[in-house]
Structure 1
């Protein structure tokens, strides 16, 4: 089943032992902080740079607001942060990815989960919306796989998340890129070749043996 809600709050639904929580697009916490106007320097280039930084800061503020409300939402659903399996991070602009990734790492450090990041026109759902989250959680046992080094069989993680988590009979594969595992460079051949390799990674990962805590270095 699905859940939704407004006002920047979490909503949840449960299906097959898996709890699904959604923090929908919202204008909450959209205002950025920081002396961006002073940093603009009075030039068009300076103002553009300041605007870009302000947008990224606003996105980070929305992410922090969502994550701050997550523990209570999980508790209300009978789950906890340690039981999070999968996070879908929706952003209005992938240009904010680096700033969001840093914030995500500090906020979700103790919550190993698979993750996908997707750009969507969130402003169409709510003016000023820059971030939305969808979280899946399930009761233990939880199994996970995180590859941290170069290999010949799976690209290493490029962010604070796992390649694969599994619980309640369901596997969750992180978002994949068309990266050659041994070099971590994009495969040659353009978008089609990258899509094929990313799909192969997604198909390959669920067949790897994982235990309650499997880390490959």
Structure 2
């Protein structure tokens, strides 16, 4: 086969693979949609996607990777505007604390709207690994990082491991490990129930994060901010749902 023939064939193969992966992800989301509890086998996911189980294994490797990819797809409308804005320099939130609360509440609300998929994904993670080497919540961490790069969160050295917080006088106040707090958020969602209010999850998660990053923030200030931010985020979810109808 010469190069002129291999090029189109390679592109066709890549297009087919991309469409297959898309069908599997969409089938996974449809299968878990509106379910508060329950889980599905790879065979059931394959049947919903209209492919064979071997095709899923060839494209994703494990059930966890299928569920993680589907879960990331649901969170993308929340996270990608932040990461894209951070990359092109347009992401500049006016109030970092407000933005942190907004982000965590939106993540909690989306995860609890898709409770069955969230729980199944985390369960599959634990079934597959016990040493923490697999990816869990890194997409959430990716969106969290730019928020902690904005005032009043001022990073110092070592941001790969933690956000180091400094006072205006330059003295170090502490360190904020965003990976740890993402993990804690995922565990809160995993052990919660569909009846938990996302605002309660968000308030708990934000209080833990702010206690580490900005210990001088009064917890009463967090409680005062949340209703206003919750109303805006709930409106965003409602507009999205109306567009999808």
User: TM-score if structure 2 supplies the norm length?
Assistant: 0.28
- Structure holding more helix per residue: 2
